[in-house]
Structure 1
Amino acid sequence: MNLSPTFILPVTLGGTVEKVSAQCYEAEINEFEELEGYIDIGSLEPGDDGRKIVCRIEDGRCVTVSMAYLELPITDTFLGLDLNGGSEESEHLAEELEKQGIPTISQFDGVVLPDHFMVIELGESITWWDEDYWGKDGFLEEAVALQ
């Protein structure tokens, strides 16, 4: 699947735990008080059986949605860029996104897209943050690692 800054997963970012749970074909609250679920993305990516998501819960709402990668190598791309690799490739991803006009913040464990409320951890996950819940300052405070 070629992902972009636009959230396209078939769950409601910022939705209630009940709503997001109902949008998954399997869901439960884990030991960290997060919603873990599996979504069918066959309509987005024909032949794909589904993906695992993990949602941070605040005030009864799923304020982040992370699509976790369970199998390597990852076939997904982000704006045509490879999502395989680890921290050493994060700088390259950030540089390529900057060339496409997307501001980034490079970190030891990934790339933050501050204008799009996203965090990409190469080889691990992509997380979308609910803009309405976090606001720009809250997102940056939570998502950007202290250097």
Structure 2
Amino acid sequence: MNFTTDFSLPFSLGGTVDENISISENAEIVEKVFGNDLECFVDTGDSVPNGKTEKIVSMIADNRCVTASLLFFDPGTGHTFEGIPLGGRKENPEEYFVSSLTDMGINSSNESGVIVLLDHFITIEIGEYICWWDRFFWTRDCFLDEVLDH
């Protein structure tokens, strides 16, 4: 799947927990020390290795899903972001990724191995996940605090 700055997964970013449970598979709420996450599986409509659905982990706040992280279990899935491979097969993948985005005019930075697209409220860890953050919940400063705190 070629992801873009537009959120296009079959998941309601900013939607209620109940709404997202109803449109996903094997959903469960996982209690954590500092809040809860919704973990579920969605069908992206793409061919996923072994015919599996893809896992989303979403941070819950005020009974809403305020992030949507698509986890990559197999870096060889062929997922891309704006045409750039997310599998991390290149040497220095973060540097290559940021450089490629810059060439396309997309502002990004590498913050300790996490690619941050500040203008789009997206974080990417090559070979691990891509995460969209709900712009209606997170202020720019809160987004930065959360991202740089990891």
Does TM, scored on the shorter chain, surpass 0.5? yes
Which residue identity is paired with 2:5?
P
Q: Which runs of 5+ in 2 are unaligned?
A: none
Q: Which digits, 9 at most, give the CA deviation of each residue in 1:53-98, with x for residues without a partner?
A: 0000111111000000112323101111011128931111011101
The CA RMSD over aligned residues, in Å, is 1.7
Corresponding residue of 1:122: 126
Corresponding residue of 1:58: 61
Number of equivalenced pairs: 143
- Structure 1: 4+ residue segments shifted above 6 A: none
SS at match of 2:143: helix
SS at match of 1:56: strand
Q: What is the correspondence of 1:1-147 to structure 2 with a 5 Å cutoff?
A: 1-32=1-32, 33-42=36-45, 45=46, 47-48=47-48, 49-85=52-88, 88-145=92-149
Q: Which runs of 5+ in 1 are unaligned?
A: none
CA distance in 2, matches of 1:62, 1:109: 25
CA distance in 1, matches of 2:103, 2:61: 35
Which residue identity is paired with 2:55?
K
Identical positions, percent: 38
Cα deviation, residue 31, structure 1: 3.8
SS at match of 1:123: coil
SS at match of 1:141: helix
Q: Which digits, 9 at most, give the CA deviation of each residue in 1:105-124, with x for residues without a partner?
A: 21222200001000010000
Task: Using structure 1 for the length normalisation, give the TM-score.
Answer: 0.90
Q: Is the 8 A contact 1:9 1:41 kept in 2?
A: yes
